[in-house]
Chain A
Amino acid sequence: MNGDARVPEIGPDDVDALVAGSEFFGASIAGSSVENFRTWTREVLERRGPVPLVEPGELDADTPCAAVGIAGSMTAIVELPPAGDEPATVLTALQNQLGRAVGAVMPMNAATINALFPVLAAAELGLPVVDCDGMGRILPLINQTSYALAGLPLTPLTATSAVRDLVSIDASAPRAELLIRAMLNTAGGWMLCALYPTEARNLVTAAIPGSMSRVVRVGRLLTGATDHDGIVLGLRETANATVLGSGRVVELGPSGKRGAPTQPANPTTVVVREERADSRLIRLEAQNELLLAVIDGVLATAVPDLLCLLDRNSLRMKGLERVGLGDEVDVLAVPAAPVWHSPAGLELAGPAAFGLPVRHPKERDG
């Protein structure tokens, strides 16, 4: 398998791979019920036809682009699903706000259902999807993106909810995050946003390139492979994933007293004990996302690098909410996009951004 092969378009037949890949990069909620979204995306693509996947450089430099993505809780959106017209509605609202048409849609982050919404919006409006994203994984705040790092304005932002609220925000990126977070409760737990309006030329440097293709490639690997070693080897080729260790989940529960005030979750911990002679302890620290891997007290890797659990028996990714005591898992680490390892990237999405007083290994090792 060619680890960098580009995917030219996303059609109905690619939906399974898209969903499986998006689960891998949204590892904390892998395994959640996304069947409605899978069906919805396939139906739209069958009705509207495949969506082209284009690189930023292939677009006219002046092409207006905007990101689409959900802010809020995955659980909430499963319980209170969208009606179906939200992607087109929110993007149209942004076009009205901007006073011009959008020529391409990019993902806010190509992970979990946020890998599907740009495809849905683009398909409904007959636009291409830019093969990039702003996170390369899932991060909890809408301003934790490479777009924000590059200085692209997060607003004007439009957002809609399950009860058809439609709001528009014009604010700085951190303020926009706070405002959206404040509205989520009232809105029903989730809001679909159209944000980061910009021109295609800016995405050449501000976006994490090839994200959508990578999601589909990883998805094809996960849906196609039948043996454990094949998956591990394939993930190394397609996502540069490494196995930190393998073992049995021996502990699950709260960790510490409370999370950072800016974070929408409290800390939890997962302990995997290796079943080898030396029996290493791999402690995963989480706040919605898996943030740290500490092996026998030594920090092995930390956010913004991606940590995920592969169930060795079912060969499926195991989300934080699905993992159980006794599960046999591989702990996988996927290095974040290089932009996240810059000082500014680590400040925005490194351990300190989650209130964790530890330096990322890249930062510590220089």
Chain B
Amino acid sequence: MNRTPSTQALTVDALVHYGPLANTRALIDDHFDQLVPHVSLVSELDQIRSCAPHTAVVLHQSLTHGVWAVESAMRLAWERAAACVVTPALPGIGESTAHLAQRLRTPVFVVDGDSAQCALDLAAAITNPDALRAKLLARCAVLFSERSGARAILGVINTEVPGVSAALVSGDGQVLAGRSTVARSGAGSRQVRVEVPGPDGQPWASLVAEVAGAGPLLDTVRTILRLACVPLAAAVTQQRLELVHNSARAGAALDVLLTDGSRRVAYSRDAPDDVASELGWQVDGRHIGVFLRVATSEAGPDVETLTPGVVSAWQREFGDRPLVPRSGGWASWWPAESRAAGDVSGELGLGLVRMRSPVGLVAGIGEPAEQLAGLRESLAQAELASAAAQGSTAGHVELFAELGERLVLACLPVAELARSAEVALADLLAASDHRTLVTTLAAVLDHGGSTGQAAAQLGVHRNTVLGRLERIRAHGIDVDRPDRRLALHLAAYALATRAP
């Protein structure tokens, strides 16, 4: 006799969710993962002794002389490795019987109606499991059509599909929605994975389902996941569209806020307070301006393209704090009633490192300022400071207050200057040790021509610096001509600052 049930068989869980056991009362909620290939209606306790393993044992009305008979049947069912016991309702079935069911690890279901009818229904379901699975698919399809968000759609799978845990997992393994345990599950668990397309049609994430124990057929789960893909993709697209729309709206609103009163009339009749309150922005009181930029100064995707990903990542990390796209990056402002720019810097830097942004970001922070006029000033300072941060590693934060005269350098178009310098100093840059020579040239100019201080900064002997200056002069560069010194200093600065 083959004692291993077919994997085509339904589980107790499936029968509870979509089968005849849905109309019964379960004494315990555990041990529902067993397959049920057989059902047996018994009118005498001894009949249980001949039941095959994994049988759903249904007690006939005539057997229920007392709770003792139900408990005796439970015990015999346990000895026969039955999948579950179904009993007619009768007075006295309560906590103690549930306690015994828990100890025997045997699910017990109480049916108010005719247990014989329940046995017939169970037999019909067990004989034709595909019908029950079709019912499950139909139910999921209906619920998917009624849900709009990724979490709600994952919720349908996790609550409606018996024995299955599902999650939406990004390409780098981050769980975006659903059960985080799915991503951590080890080898041995049965997983079904379906790619979810993004708005551009490319795979954007994976829908992963883990089938616990001997769950329903993997094919059924795969079909359900595919059914979920369409509403999930739609939900993602909708979310992106909303982000783009909201960002554009926020950008326009910030334009209004940052325009001073005399000029605003020409552009908009909206009052700043109305604009801010409509978007839920707090602009009264004391604030600190924050400005984000892409960390690298090299050319890459523009702000408009990056905005949905950056704003989405920002919201995950910083919640409702505003983030508004501007021409060179993204503006934000934080309340500063009880903290200084330095405190904001620490929190912002950590957040930027943690943020799962599509590009690395750096930030600049302005000075704390009062009211809308102050905020305009603080944001302008933050934008300047962020320019100084550009070129550093992601997460770097510059404070306007600490920049001083370096602020001027921050405003230089370093990349363009570097390209000019490459032409002007082509002879020097052709040298095999041009990096060393450029660094030395910059150090000497930084120290006003002092070779001793330049040597100390570079960590070499003064004679080495003198030797390098000789080689620099040999390339036709006269470091001593006052009329060329500023241009030469800028060229050396641009070449040294530019990313290698």
Which B-chain residue is minimally distant from A260 (CB atoms)?
A: B65
What residue in chain B is nearest A259 (Cβ atoms)?
A: B65
B71 touches A294 (CB 8 A): yes
CA distance A297 to B73 in the complex (A): 7
Q: Which residues of A contact B90 (CB under 8 A)?
A: 255-257
Kindly list chain B residues whose C-beta atoms are within 8 Å of the C-beta of A251.
92, 94-96
Q: Which of A283, A355, A356, A357 contacts B71 (CB 8 A)?
A: A283
Q: What B residues does A281 contact at CB under 8 A?
A: 71, 96, 99-100, 103
Assess whether A255 is in contact with B68, with CB atoms less than 8 Å apart.
yes
* Known contacts A256-B64, A285-B68; A297 and B92 CB within 8 A of each other: no
Across the interface, do A256 and B100 meet the contact criterion of CB distance under 8 Å? no
Q: Which of A217-273 contact B (CB under 8 A)?
A: 250-251, 253-257, 267, 269, 271, 273
Partner of A357, one of B44, B74, B91, B100: B44
B62 to chain A, nearest CB (A): 8
> How far apart are the CA atoms of A21 and B415 in the complex, in Å?
109
A358 interface contact, C-beta 8 A = yes
The listed residue (A273, A279, A283, A299) touching B67 by CB distance below 8 A is A283
B100 touches A355 (CB 8 A): no
Instruction: Give A283-304 as 1s and 0s: 1 = Cβ < 8 Å from B's Cβ atoms.
Output: 1010000001010111100000
How distant is the Cα of A356 from the Cα of B72 in the complex, in angstroms?
A: 12
Q: Which of the residues B64, B66, B76, B91 comes within 8 Å of A297, measured between beta carbons? A: B76
Given A297-B74, A297-B78, decide whether A358 and B69 contact each other with a Cβ distance below 8 A. Answer: yes
Number of chain A residues close to chain B: CB under 8 A? 25
Contact in complex: A357, B95 (CB < 8 Å): no
Q: Is the CB of B45 within 8 A of A283?
A: no
Contacts of A292 in B (CB 8 A): 68
B44, B64, B103: the one contacting A296 at CB < 8 Å is B103
Question: Which residue on chain A has the smallest CB distance to residue B94?
Answer: A251
Question: Residue on B with the closest CB to A256?
Answer: B66
Q: Does B498 make an interface contact (CB < 8 A)?
A: no
B271 sits at the interface (CB 8 A):
no
Question: Is the CB–CB distance between B75 and A256 below 8 Å?
Answer: no
Q: Is the CB of B68 within 8 A of A294?
A: yes
Residue of A nearest to B65 (CB): A256
Of the candidates A255, A271, A285, the one whose C-beta lies within 8 Å of that of B91 is A255
The CA of A241 and the CA of B45, in the complex, are separated in Å by: 29
Residues in chain B near residue A269, CB distance under 8 A: 66-68, 92
- For A354, give the chain B residue with the smallest CB separation: B65
Minimum C-beta distance from B97 to chain A (A)? 9
Q: Which of chain A's residues have a CB closer than 8 A to the CB of B103?
A: 279, 281, 296
CB-CB contacts below 8 Å: B219-242 with A: none
Docked pose: A281 CA to B94 CA in angstroms: 13
Task: Assess whether B72 is in contact with A271, with CB atoms less than 8 Å apart.
Answer: no
The reply on B28 being an interface residue by CB < 8 A is: no
Contacts of B63 in A (CB 8 A): 357
- B residues 422-459 touching A (CB-CB < 8 Å): none
Q: Report how far A267 CA is from B65 CA in the complex, Å.
A: 9
* A359 and chain B: residue at smallest CB distance: B46
- B44 near A256 with CB under 8 A, answer no
Q: Is the CB of B66 within 8 A of A296?
A: no
Residues of B within 8 A of A296 (CB): 71, 75, 100, 103-104
Report yes or no: A298 in contact with B65, Cβ–Cβ below 8 A.
no
A297 and B72 contact, CB distance less than 8 A: yes
Contacts of B44 in A (CB 8 A): 357
B72 interface neighbour in A254, A257, A273, A299, Cβ under 8 Å: A299
Give residues of chain A (166-188) contacting chain B, Cβ–Cβ below 8 Å.
Answer: none
Contact call A298/B72, Cβ cutoff below 8 A? yes
Output the nearest chain A residue to B100 by Cβ-Cβ distance: A281
A259 CB → nearest B CB, Å: 9
Question: In the bound complex, how far is the Cα of B63 from the Cα of A283, in angstroms?
Answer: 17
B282 CB, nearest partner CB in chain A, Å? 59
Q: Give min CB distance, A291 to chain B, whole Å.
A: 9
Q: Which residues of A contact B104 (CB under 8 A)?
A: 296-297
B residues within 8 A CB of A358?
45, 69, 72
Residue among B65, B69, B74, B104 with the most chain A CB within 10 A?
B65
List of B residues within 8 angstroms of A257 by Cβ:
64, 90-91
Would B96 and A271 count as touching, CB distance under 8 A?
Answer: yes
Distance of A357 Cα from B78 Cα, bound (Å): 20
Please encode chain B, from 86 to 123, with 1 for each CB lying within 8 Å of some chain A CB and 0 for all others: 00001110111001100110000000000000000000
- Contact residues of A between 327 and 366, Cβ < 8 Å to B: 355-358
Quote the shortest CB–CB distance from B102 to chain A (angstroms).
Answer: 10
In the bound complex, residues from chain A placing their C-beta under 8 Å from that of B64 are 256-257
Smallest Cβ distance from A366 to chain B, in angstroms?
A: 15
Are B68's CB and A283's CB within 8 A? yes
User: Could you tell me the distance between the alpha carbons of A285 and B95 in the complex, rounded to whole angstroms?
Assistant: 16
Q: Mark A147-172, 1 if CB is under 8 A from B, else 0.
A: 00000000000000000000000000
In angstroms, Cα B73 to Cα A16, docked, is 44
Residue of A nearest to B61 (CB): A257
The residue of chain A having its C-beta at the shortest distance from the C-beta of B103 within the complex is A296
CB atoms of B66 and A267 under 8 A apart: yes
Report Cα–Cα, A189/B100, bound state, in Å: 40
The listed residue (B76, B78, B92, B99) touching A255 by CB distance below 8 A is B92
Beyond contacts A254-B92, A285-B67, A356-B66: 15 other A-B pairs, Cβ-Cβ < 8 A, are A250-B95, A253-B91, A255-B66, A255-B91, A256-B65, A256-B66, A256-B91, A267-B65, A283-B67, A283-B71, A283-B96, A296-B100, A296-B103, A298-B72, A355-B65
26 contacts between A and B (CB under 8 A): A250-B96, A251-B92, A251-B95, A253-B91, A253-B92, A256-B64, A256-B66, A256-B69, A267-B65, A269-B66, A269-B92, A271-B96, A273-B96, A273-B99, A281-B96, A281-B100, A281-B103, A285-B66, A285-B67, A285-B68, A296-B104, A297-B72, A297-B100, A298-B72, A299-B72, A357-B69
**Chain A to chain B: the 7 pairs with minimum beta-carbon distance, closest first:** A297-B75, A256-B66, A255-B66, A255-B92, A254-B91, A297-B71, A294-B68
